Amino acid sequence: MKNGIAQIILMMIIVSSCDQKMVANQSDIKLNNPNEFIGKHKAKVSILGVFHFSNPGLDSYKEEFEFNILENKRQKELEIIIDKISKYKPTKILLESNRVHSDSILNIKLEKYVTGEFDISNMESEYYQIGFKLAKKLGHNRIYSSDAEAKWFGANLDWDNYDSDEYMKRQGQYEKSHRYNYNEVYRESDSLKSVYSLGDYLIMLNDPNDRLKDHQAYLTNTVLEGAGDNYIGADAVARWYRRNIRIFANTYDITSFDQEERILLIYGAGHVWPLRQLFLDSPDYEYVEINEIIS
């Protein structure tokens, strides 16, 4: 009997000792740290949001006010912007061109531009006017296409006969989704590019408040269409996020964390807000506001 009691007491002591060790070990475990970085160098990244110098007219708002980046006045303003960005010393320049289809083509053109065999004096696109000129100034021998397609994956409708306004009125969604007049916001912003210097306009365009206001159109207008039915608005927003997440994935793939990186993305300003959020949330990047560079 005494031996049995002694064995029970011994077992209780062993269990208690194990429990104390577990508590001690648990106290050594730190709470997850969202700022933890595993690698040699955290990468700096900045996004220059631009309006398309050679606008393809694919956005819902169609530009009304003229702007010619090839004018002498605008070329001088552009030189100032490029000079300021060059002081940031980007190690890699990423463009809003399709990574799969355009990367090799653009780099052949860049090589010829650097050697004087490819003339960009009559080419308006920011690919050339900012990307190529900046790459040459910095001595880069390559540039990076980083955009990606995000094909429609929502409801299949008879788009030729589909009337968005009429549909939303039937659903009772039209009034709520049109409380904010985004076309007027876009038009006012569009008008300022013909009045401001290029530098001042880009500073205004890249202000986080301006970018958030622009992004809110997706969350107050686009997203509502078809809620409770075909969800084409939510799917349109998902498609937009999908494209930006793919751009982020491409950037992440292109970035090296074994060396100091200062990544510069040159994209249509609408991309700035969702991409900015992804970089801010990532443990691997230090986000640099572009206005700290070009102001």
Average pLDDT over residues 119-127: 96
Q: According to the model, what pLDDT value does residue 24 have?
A: 47
Selected residue with higher pLDDT from 151 and 10? 151
Q: According to the model, what pLDDT value does residue 36 have?
A: 87
Q: Binning pLDDT at 50, 70 and 90, where does residue 95 land?
A: very high
Q: Binning pLDDT at 50, 70 and 90, where does residue 5 land?
A: low
Q: According to the model, what pLDDT value does residue 71 have?
A: 96
Q: According to the model, what pLDDT value does residue 189 have?
A: 92
Q: What ranges in the chain are assigned the alpha helix state H?
A: 2-28, 72-88, 99-114, 126, 133-138, 164-171, 174-177, 182-192, 198-205, 208-220, 232-254, 272-281, 291-294
Q: According to the model, what pLDDT value does residue 22 have?
A: 52
Q: Binning pLDDT at 50, 70 and 90, where does residue 15 land?
A: low
Condensed to tens digits (0 to 9), the pLDDT of residues 16-51 reads 555 555 544 554 556 688 888 887 899 999 999 999
* CA proximity to 183, closest of 43, 63, 71: 63
* CA proximity to 147, closest of 279, 232, 270, 245: 245
3-class SS of residue 93: strand
Condensed to tens digits (0 to 9), the pLDDT of residues 171-184 reads 999 999 999 999 99
3-class SS of residue 110: helix
Average pLDDT over residues 79-108: 97
Find all residues with CB under 8 Å of 141, minimum gap 6, and list them.
Answer: 110, 111, 114
Selected residue with higher pLDDT from 199 and 64? 199
* CA proximity to 189, closest of 63, 49, 52: 63
Q: What is the largest CA-CA distance in the chain?
A: 104
Average pLDDT over residues 205-219: 96
CB neighbourhood size of 63 (10 A): 16
SS3 sequence, 123-151? Answer: CCCHHHHHHHHHHHHHCCCCCEEEECCCC
Q: According to the model, what pLDDT value does residue 90 have?
A: 98
Give φ, ψ of 35 to 5 degrees: -95, 0
Structure tokens at 201: 């306009």
Structure tokens at 261: 């990186």
Distance separating the N- and C-terminal Cα atoms of the chain: 87
Find all residues with CB under 8 Å of 136, minimum gap 6, and list them.
Answer: 113, 114
Structure tokens at 156: 């299949």
Q: According to the model, what pLDDT value does residue 160 have?
A: 94
Residue 199 has pLDDT above 80, yes or no: yes
Condensed to tens digits (0 to 9), the pLDDT of residues 238-270 reads 999 999 999 999 999 999 999 999 999 999 999
Q: According to the model, what pLDDT value does residue 60 have?
A: 61
Looking at every residue in the chain, the average pLDDT score rounds to: 90
Angle at the Cα of 265 from the Cα atoms of 72 and 213, rounded to 5 degrees: 90
Distances (CA, A) of 160 to 76, 82, 88, 156, 164: 45, 44, 48, 12, 11
Condensed to tens digits (0 to 9), the pLDDT of residues 228-241 reads 999 999 999 999 99
Condensed to tens digits (0 to 9), the pLDDT of residues 129-150 reads 999 999 999 999 999 999 999 9
Residue 232, amino acid: I
Q: Binning pLDDT at 50, 70 and 90, where does residue 6 land?
A: low
